[in-house]
């Protein structure tokens, strides 16, 4: 009995201390095991990070930024400028250039060309009109029945007189003139850049398909044809763009480049040239922040233009100044 009691005391007294010691031994080993399990995932996490980074580097940095973002920027600007060129209504002469009723009736009744010219000269004295026909007559449109402002011409396709007419473009189904000439130049610019982006990003695949380094598949035709079309369009567009940038620098229209405008003192191909910087400002405006966007920023109203070395009738000049003062 005494032996059993002594054994029970020993168990009661020694067990707590033994459990505590055992627990202290277990705690560090459990923490180590948790740390080890966590560290075991480091290689997996590393692989995932590498794969994630490779996706970002290729898709975002290479494709999205270098290809997709740049591609869509030029595409959007090209479409915007093209849309504005197409849908900007050609500017027409204002009512001020129409003959008053009395003069119009006299003009229509008169059969002699000299007498008709006298009527037109009388009306033109109150207008900022300094260009003439090759014969020195006032430029009058019998279709629209208006005195043509300087640089204005009648378009037989649009059937109207267009202010500062450059040409009628079938590719935009519209007249290119004062209201949309800036848009037209930007359209050519962004179309050229659009073709450059396509050629630059497609050429490596074009070469591989052409040299049989890549197997034939459904993409081959599109890649080869896309490169050829973009290259051909670039060659044709950039030549036209260069010509129109030259015209902008000279402050001429296509019509004036082929036929110099006639003034009271004769023809002058540089009659509207004011120097390179002012010539550019005539089309793009004097605020550079608007130059690259298809928003209207051209100078003037399309009815009158500053000329150089032009002999102006003093009577006409005074009348025009008075009219401008009233306006």
Beta strands in 3-155 (DSSP E): 131-132, 140-141, 146-147, 153-155
| Residue 21 predicted with pLDDT over 70 | no
Measured between alpha carbons, how far is 300 from 285 in angstroms, rounded to an integer? 9
- Residue 133 domain-assigned (yes or no): no
Number of domains composing the chain = 1
CA distances from 205 to 165, 181, 194, 198, 212 (A): 43, 37, 18, 11, 10
Which uninterrupted H or E stretch holds 168? strand 167-169
In tens, the pLDDT along 242-293 reads 999 999 999 999 999 999 999 988 899 999 999 999 999 999 999 999 999 9
- Residue 248 domain-assigned (yes or no): yes
Q: What is the span of the domain harbouring residue 73? A: 58-87+181-252+273-306
- Residue 67 domain-assigned (yes or no): yes
pLDDT recorded at residue 58: 67
Measured between alpha carbons, how far is 21 from 278 in angstroms, rounded to an integer? 95
Candidates 113, 185, 163; CA nearest to 142 is 113
Which residues are tagged catalytic?
169
- Residue 45 domain-assigned (yes or no): no
In tens, the pLDDT along 163-181 reads 999 999 999 999 999 999 9
pLDDT recorded at residue 62: 64
pLDDT recorded at residue 104: 93
- Residue 188 domain-assigned (yes or no): yes
pLDDT recorded at residue 324: 44
- Residue 231 domain-assigned (yes or no): yes
In tens, the pLDDT along 98-146 reads 999 999 999 999 889 999 999 999 999 999 999 999 999 999 999 999 9
DSSP string, 276-298: HHHHHHHHH-S-GGGTTSSS---
- Residue 6 domain-assigned (yes or no): no
| Residue 30 predicted with pLDDT over 60 | yes
Q: Which residues, 6 or more positions from 198, have their beta carbon under 8 angstroms from its beta carbon?
A: 71, 226, 227, 230
Measured between alpha carbons, how far is 192 from 172 in angstroms, rounded to an integer? 16
pLDDT recorded at residue 225: 83
- Residue 166 domain-assigned (yes or no): no
| Residue 203 predicted with pLDDT over 90 | no
């Amino acid at each position: 009995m005494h032996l059993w009691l002594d054994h029970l005391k020993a168990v009661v007294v020694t067990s707590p201390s033994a459990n505590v010691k055992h627990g202290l031994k277990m705690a560090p080993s459990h923490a180590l095991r948790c740390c080890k399990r966590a560290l075991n995932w480091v290689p997996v996490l590393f692989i995932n990070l590498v794969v994630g980074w490779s996706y970002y580097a290729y898709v975002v940095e290479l494709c999205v930024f270098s290809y997709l973002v740049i591609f869509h920027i030029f595409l959007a600007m090209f479409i915007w400028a093209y849309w504005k060129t197409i849908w900007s209504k050609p500017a027409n002469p204002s009512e001020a250039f129409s003959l008053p009723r009395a003069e119009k009736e006299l003009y229509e009744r008169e059969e002699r060309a000299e007498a008709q010219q006298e009527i037109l000269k009388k009306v033109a004295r109150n207008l900022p009109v300094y260009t003439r026909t090759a014969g020195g007559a006032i430029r009058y449109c019998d279709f629209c029945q208006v005195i043509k402002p300087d640089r204005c011409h009648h378009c037989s396709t649009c059937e109207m007189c267009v202010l500062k007419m450059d040409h009628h473009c079938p590719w935009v189904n519209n007249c290119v003139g004062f209201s949309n000439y800036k848009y037209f130049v930007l359209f050519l610019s962004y179309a050229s850049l659009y073709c450059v982006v396509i050629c630059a990003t497609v050429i490596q695949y074009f070469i591989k398909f052409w040299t049989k380094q890549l197997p034939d598949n459904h993409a081959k035709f599109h890649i080869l044809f896309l490169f050829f079309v973009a290259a051909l369009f670039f060659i044709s567009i950039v030549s036209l763009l260069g010509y129109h940038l030259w015209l902008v620098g000279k402050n001429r229209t296509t019509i004036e480049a082929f036929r110099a405008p006639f003034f009271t003192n004769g023809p002058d191909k540089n009659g509207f040239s004011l120097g390179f910087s002012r010539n550019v400002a005539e089309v793009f405006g004097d605020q550079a922040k608007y130059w690259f966007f298809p928003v209207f920023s051209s100078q003037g109203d399309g009815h009158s233009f500053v000329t150089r070395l032009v002999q102006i009738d003093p009577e006409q000049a005074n009348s025009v100044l008075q009219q401008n003062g009233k306006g």
